[in-house]
Structure 1
Amino acid sequence: MYFVKTPYLLKKIYSGLIWEVHNNHNQVFLTFDDGPTPGITEEVLTILGKNNAKATFFCTGKNVEKNPVLYQHILQEGHAVGNHSFLHQNGWRINDADYVQDIKRCCNLIDSNLFRPPYGKITFSQIEKLKFDFKIVMWSVLSADFDDTITPQQCLKNSIDQIKSGSIIVFHDSEKAKKNMLYALPRFLEYCHAKNLIPSSLHSLSAVSI
């Protein structure tokens, strides 16, 4: 089960996490999880470049370790990066010490104070252990590109129906999401352009000290 639009109650319960970034510039914040993935992340970078759009890539340490050149390509294109843990483990199914250790391990490869919990699952005690070192970034709009039971057209609809200035939207540069994401992404960017929304990275957020 997942929510395309993050419920208000969930944002209130986890009020210390970042769900959206209010601004006066019509910015929406485009994020990609689980990469870098050869053959997919390159396509994403090409689409973003053609549309003069910036994004934040929440990468896993294991994929950065496997694909260091591709990771550097993300940085060279001017995008932001964030920590998505090393092994992509579910915070609800792992003890706090191992969870934090896995995130710290990822820090050896990804220099960022932005962290997104894998699967969006994190406990209150884990938040307490991380909040002084990281800005924990969630989302307000989920494209659900990873869901192979929906069509690419539905993925696009998920992406644009709830988007507004300040929204943080999630796509995935992964094999599982490839079909839906590569259909939806360029059309999502076209929609943003038509609505004068500016797809942006979270660079400014990561630059602010905690």
Structure 2
Amino acid sequence: MYLVKSPLLLKWYYPSLVWNKSRHDKVVYLTFDDGPIPVVTEFVLNTLKSFNCKATFFCIGDNVSKHPQIFERLKIEGHAIGNHTFNHLKGWKTDDSTYLENFKKCQEYTQSHLFRPPYGRIKKSQVKKLKAIDPQLNVIMWDVLSGDFDIGLTPEKCYRNVINHTRNGAIIVFHDSLKAFERLQYALPAVLKYLIAQGYQFNIL
């Protein structure tokens, strides 16, 4: 069960987290979770390059350690990097000390002031302790979820999820993972083409 559009109640309950950005300009923020990995992340990078777009990648530390060349390409091509824990931990089911150590292990690779909790699930106590470690840390959530991870979703519906809910300042989530690849291959270039035609620009966080 997931919601394509983040509800106001969640934004109210976690006011210190970043759900979207300025709504004054036609700017949106593409984000990709769970990479970097061969084939899928490379497809994303090639697609972004073909449209001259930049994005923010929330990387799993274990994947960075296994695929350092792809990680370096992310940085060389001007994309932003975020921490997504070392082992994709679910905050609600992980004690705070384990969660923080996993964050710090990933941070050795990412060296970022951006963090996205896997599954979007994090305790308020974990947010507080993470910000004690790094006062500049921005915990980035989203307001548009593509649903590309959902194997029961058609590629067309994944595309519709994004274009039907994107507004100025939207933070949009895709996944550069094998599970998402079938929907991502169709939806990402189609979304970029549509949003560019609507006059949107793509910024990094």
TM range (shorter): over 0.9
| 1:12 and 2:12 correspond | yes
In 1, the alpha carbon distance for the partners of 2:62 and 2:189 equals 28
Which 4+ runs in 1 deviate beyond 4 A?
Answer: none
Partner residue, 1:183: 186
| Equivalent pairs, count | 202
Displacement of 1:111 after TM fit?
1.3
Which residue of structure 1 lines up, in the alignment, with residue 99 of structure 2?
99
What TM-score, normalized by structure 1, do the two folds share? Answer: 0.94
Match of 2:62 in 1: 62
Q: Does residue 137 of structure 1 match 2:140?
A: yes
Deviations 1:93-138 (A, max 9, x none): 1100000010011111111110000110000111111124121000
The aligned runs of 1:1-210 (5 Å cut-off) are 1-132=1-132, 133=134, 134-202=137-205
8 A contact 1:139–1:168 mirrored in 2: yes
Q: Residue type matched to 2:100 in 1?
A: V
Please tell me the residue identity of whatever aligns with 1:49.
K
Shift of 1:180: 0.4
Instruction: Return the offset for 1:201.
Output: 1.2
CA–CA distance in structure 2, aligned partners of residues 173 and 189 of structure 1: 16
Aligned-pair identity (%): 49
Q: What's the RMSD between the two structures over aligned residues?
A: 0.8
Code of the residue aligned with 2:41 in structure 1: it is T
The superposition leaves residues 164-206 of structure 1 with CA deviations (integer Å, 9 ceiling, x where unpaired) of: 110000000000000001110000001111110112211xxxx
- The structural deviation recorded for 1:24 is 3.7
- How many angstroms apart in 2 are the aligned matches of 1:15 and 1:33? 22
Q: Which runs of 5+ in 1 are unaligned?
A: 203-210
* SS, match of residue 131 in structure 1: helix
Unaligned runs of 5+ in 2: none
